[in-house]
Amino acid sequence: MPFHAGFDAAVYSGDASMAWLKAHSNLAWCGYYLSPAPNLLPAANSWRGRRAALAPAWGLAPCYVGQQARHGASAISAILTFIQGCTDGQQAVDNARRDGFARGTYLYLDWEDGGALSNDSQQYVSGWMVTVHARGFGAGLYCSHRLADSFAQLFARLDPKLAVRFWCWAVSSSAEHPLQETLDGLPRSDPAGCGYAPAMMWQREQNAYFVTPAGAPQAGQRIVIDVDTARLADPGAP
């Protein structure tokens, strides 16, 4: 079974740079930040409104950075209730519709914390998932590979049961570092290698940077990406 290299990045590098990257790499898809969202970095708002330009060339994984546990990410907002999950799930759907994502597209809730799941965390994530599903979109979750099975057990208890797609992070370090591979030779590994066999996607490297060479639209541009692999060339597709 073929797998597909992808990336996600907080900052949109520009239309010309994305076209150059598509032509000079084996990347098939990219993450796409849905904004506004309660814990989204301001720089990530640069993805807003880009779907129409990107969709002809790129598979897209729309991602919503919702409420976060206080002891995990340095959360601006940490309102972890079922009702807040429903509210944020509706916002994610509204943002996706605004940018032209079709009904049935999988939207991914970004859950940054890798610690044990509190009851409040479970309530919030459950509210988000059931709302996104009820509004006609697919429900996905970006989370630590160590938490994926616990989340899967949680989702199995929901009514209705949801076919949630998992985008798992399992990295050796989050420190910024030079990209080790060439852009046209990025690994297309089985996402199961993250440690959670059913994973749809695996974020296998965080904060890798490269500098665009002479001849690129913005030569010398330093671009920081997270390197991923997926079972689908378009992880948001129904």
Is residue 88 in some structural domain? yes
- Burial level of 73, CB count in 10 A (0-12/13-18/19+)? middle
Is residue 143 in some structural domain? yes
What CATH number has the domain bearing residue 66? 3.20.20.80
pLDDT: which is higher, 83 or 217: 83
Residue 51 and residue 30: Cα distance in Å, rounded?
Answer: 11
pLDDT per residue over 18-53, tens digit each?
999 999 999 999 999 999 999 998 889 999 999 999
Looking at the predicted structure, is the pLDDT value of residue 73 above 80? Answer: no
Residue type, 38: P
What are the φ/ψ torsions at residue 206 (nearest 5 degrees)? -115, 145
Q: Quick one: what percent of the chain has pLDDT higher than 70?
A: 98
Is residue 236 in some structural domain? no
Is residue 198 in some structural domain? yes
124: confidence class by pLDDT, cuts 50, 70, 90: very high
Range of the domain at 17: 4-230
| Token pair of 19 as six digits | 């076209």
3-state secondary structure of 139: strand
| Token pair of 4 as six digits | 């597909």
Is residue 22 in some structural domain? yes
Mean pLDDT, all residues of the chain = 95
Is residue 237 in some structural domain? no
Is residue 235 in some structural domain? no
Looking at the predicted structure, is the pLDDT value of residue 75 above 90? Answer: no
Q: How many domains does the chain have?
A: 1
